[in-house]
Structure 1
Amino acid sequence: MEERILKEGIYTGIQLSKYIINKCTNDRQPISNLQLQKILFNLQKYFIINYDKKLITDDFEAWPYGPVIREVYAEYCSYGSMTINEKYNHISINSSIRSKIDPIISRLRKRQPWDLVEDTHRPGGAWDTIYKNGAGNKKIIPVCLIKEKEN
């Protein structure tokens, strides 16, 4: 049963972002676009490492402040460093997936944005390997590299 659910549990960055934003807003702990990107990356990393599969269909790119899903950034960049206080209707995330991601979201949203950035900038990590002091700016971070370097 678990394996079947995980096969079905692939979401776009925007779908998962709406769920995360709803959860954080409803819990009265709204997050910024920067925090959202780092939460998304950590959720992707968790699924790649623990289930050998992507949770999010979109690719992450190596941007100056860490891994970014371009479409999600474009959707929420107008907020700048302010919190995103949106509420969305009809966001459907499988309950098995929610039980895995909710604790990660709750833990990471309490961290300062720049601490989350520092985590993704770890020397030798997936972002660092691609970004290479700017030479790899906005290049895709391959899933195999996330599994190898973030494990």
Structure 2
Amino acid sequence: MHPSIQIANEIIQRGAQQNPPRFFTPMQLLKLVYLCHGWMLGLYQRPLIQENVQAWKYGPVIPELYQSLKVYRDGQVPAPQPVAQFAPPLDVYESTMIDQVMQMYGGHSGISLSQITHAPNTPWSTTFRGDTLGLVIPNELIRDHYQQLYRERTQHAAAPT
């Protein structure tokens, strides 16, 4: 498992290497890291990040990552952020997962990603209670959701036309 800021930095670095370079807002990074974590759980049954994901008003949030990025408000995060602890290297599955999530979701705005991650029947919508702050979204719930998404996508792709 990795610090969420490490995964955000990977996304920042990969975006900067695109042609033309792509930069992300804190909201986009929060949602993209969550999506990487969700797909990792769903496809490989193991977490990508070490922190808990919480159900906040505007969707799933990793509080530690939010605290690191909030200084940028709604502006773009210009460069990778300091990692305060040891961050192990990514393995091939983790690296590929980040690439795939960026390919699927990297072009979405923060608002669009927020709509995706807190739509009805998502882990966020199942966990969020408007009057209770900081409820953790269990990894098992996230895993089950992304496994179901994968099954739906593969069944749809295999269906005859």
Structure-1-length-normalised TM-score: 0.83
CA RMSD of aligned residues (A): 2.1
Structure 2: runs of 5+ lacking an equivalent: 149-161
Q: Name the TM-score, length of structure 2 as normaliser.
A: 0.78
Q: Which of these residues, 22, 36, 42, is aligned with residue 13 of structure 2?
A: 22
Mapping for residues 1-151 of structure 1, pairs under 5 Å = 10-27=1-18, 28-87=21-80, 92-132=89-129, 134-150=130-146, 151=148
Q: What letter corresponds to residue 33 of structure 2 in structure 1?
A: L
SS in 2 for 1:23: helix
Runs of 4+ displaced beyond 6 Å: none
SS of the residue 2:128 aligns to: helix
SS in structure 2 opposite 1:19?
Answer: helix
% identical equivalent positions = 24
- Over alpha carbons, which structure has the higher Rg? 2
Shift of 1:52: 0.9
Deviation at 1:87, TM superposition (A): 4.1
Identify unmatched segments of 5+ residues in structure 1.
1-9
Amino acid at match of 2:17: N
Contact between 1:33 and 1:83, CA under 8 Å: does it hold in 2? yes
